[in-house]
Amino acid sequence: MSNANNRVTTYTTRQVMSCAAFVAGFKDYNKGKPIDEKWNEHRTIKQPVNHAWRYERGRQFAVLFKQPLKHGRHVRGEAIAAFNAATGDGSII
């Protein structure tokens, strides 16, 4: 039995890395800031964990990637390749 509320949405790596939560996690880590719990408070019925998940992945990626995330408004190709490699080898969960 299918429930319309239980949909799976697919996102590209670029979409995940461009979202505000991922960028904030990346920047917060690089600035030496502690985890910002507000991203856990952004849970909604439609998106219960997406914001918190993306924020944490941004922080994890910042540990590994010591270059700029974006060039202007766009995520750099090198960053996308590095993120894909890190998720592929289990460095980022």
Position 47 in a domain: yes
Count: domains in the chain: 1
Position 7 in a domain: no
Per-residue confidence (pLDDT) for residue 52, from 0 to 100: 87
Rounded to whole angstroms, the Cα distance separating 12 from 87 reads 13
As a whole number, mean pLDDT of residues 7-29 equals 90
Structural contact between residues 29 and 63, judged by C-beta atoms closer than 8 angstroms: yes
Instruction: Tell me the residue range of the domain where 38 lies.
Output: 13-88
Position 65 in a domain: yes
Rounded to whole angstroms, the Cα distance separating 93 from 59 reads 12
Mean pLDDT of the chain: 87
On whether the pTM is more than 0.95, the answer is no
Position 8 in a domain: no
Q: How many other C-beta atoms lie within 10 A of the C-beta of residue 64?
A: 12
> How far are the Cα atoms of 6, 11, 15, 55 from residue 38, in angstroms, in the given order?
25, 23, 21, 10
pLDDT, one tens digit per residue, over 35-51 is: 998 887 766 656 656 88
Q: What is the percent of the chain where pLDDT is above 90?
A: 66
Position 1 in a domain: no
- Split at pLDDT 50, 70, 90, the class of 93 is confident
As a whole number, mean pLDDT of residues 82-86 equals 97
